[in-house]
Structure 1
Amino acid sequence: MERRQFLATGSGATALTLAASAGLAPAHAQTAPAWNKLAFDSKSMAEAAKALGATGAPVESKDLILQAPEIAENGSVVRVGAQSKIAGTTQLALVVEKNPNALAAVFDIPEGTDPNVSTNLKMGQSSNVYALAKVGDKFFYAVKEVKVTLGGCGG
């Protein structure tokens, strides 16, 4: 056995051993909630909301606050956040209208938790950015235009 092959095999075995000792096993992965592929393949805010479970059109709300820069100097790292002041918020999503896949992130908000999230997004061009909040069976949104000076999706 060559040294490289030994290291590759040994690294994989070590990783599996550590995962098993931490309680991670394929059975746990199979019982995890399913990834919503339809939502992440959506091309607009309306499609994303429908794929996340909206039965009607989302309604704009002043109680949903979207934090995003007016101008992003580099589209590969755009800091975006959302905070909901709507009681009973169970999910927050961030949608970038002109990205190839509009839905950028979804956060499930456990009961009793402050619905306040932020993350870095990649934006290929200037676009409207939406914060989408799920409250019961209703969806609310806030929107802000973000101008990108240097594209982050290969531009």
Structure 2
Amino acid sequence: MSKTDNRRAFIKKSVAFGSYSIIAGGGLLASPDANAEWLAETTSTDILQQALKRLFKDQKIIESDKISIQIPKTAENGSSVPITVSSSLNNVESIAILVEKNPIPLAAKFEFSQDLEPFVSARLKIAESSAVAVIVETNEGFFTASEKVIVTPDGCEI
């Protein structure tokens, strides 16, 4: 075997080992059974609380009547629920929309520059009847409002 062949073999093995390390370290080789078991043991409230903790780092979130949420009270099709959010709070930096009982609660997050009006419109996928919470970040803190949405049976399959 020549020096060139040895170098090529070394490079191939190094790239393969490095790729495997990245995949394993990133959790891409995690067992789907273990994830399903964890999900079954964790309640939707726990998942929502964990998402809030990750997103907002245990910041105090205050109820506010200055956040307006337009969303149907009953959704026949949970795979496409329209929502419109606006706020009269000053200096809005971001708006996050979370669906309590979805497997991944964070449905959307929008960042704003100071020149933009805090208004967003989207369509949500809602797995089952649950609360939809909106969290608005301003330079003065975090504010929230929520609405309950009832999804009719067979309305959404996630």
TM-score for both structures, normalised by structure 1:
0.67
Would you say 1:153 and 2:131 are equivalent positions? no
- Measure how far apart 1:66 and its partner are: 1.2
CA distance in 2, matches of 1:63, 1:47: 26
Amino acid at match of 2:66: D
CA distance in 2, matches of 1:47, 1:87: 28
CA distance in 2, matches of 1:49, 1:91: 14
Structure 1: runs of 5+ lacking an equivalent: 1-41
Amino acid at match of 2:68: I
Structure 2: runs of 5+ lacking an equivalent: 1-45
CA distance in 1, matches of 2:86, 2:127: 24
Percent identity between matched residues is 35
Per the alignment, residue 105 of structure 1 pairs with: 108
- Measure how far apart 1:127 and its partner are: 0.4
Would you say 1:119 and 2:130 are equivalent positions? no
Counterpart contact for 2:75–2:155, Cα < 8 Å? no
Counterpart contact for 2:99–2:126, Cα < 8 Å? yes
TM-score for both structures, normalised by structure 2:
0.65
CA distance in 2, matches of 1:55, 1:65: 24
- Write 1 or 2 for the structure with the bigger share of helix: 2
- Measure how far apart 1:54 and its partner are: 4.4
Q: What's the secondary structure of 2:47's corresponding residue? A: coil
Matched ranges for 1:27-46 at <5 A: 43-44=47-48, 46=49
Per the alignment, residue 80 of structure 1 pairs with: 83
- Measure how far apart 1:55 and its partner are: 4.1
CA spacing shift, 1:116–1:54, aligned 2, 3 Å: farther
Per the alignment, residue 136 of structure 2 pairs with: 133
Backbone CA RMSD of aligned residues: 1.7
CA spacing shift, 1:103–1:128, aligned 2, 3 Å: same
Deviations, residues 37-90 of structure 1 (Å, cap 9, x unaligned): xxxxx921x433432334423111000111111000100000012111100110
Structure 1 segments of 4+ aligned residues over 4 angstroms from their partners: none
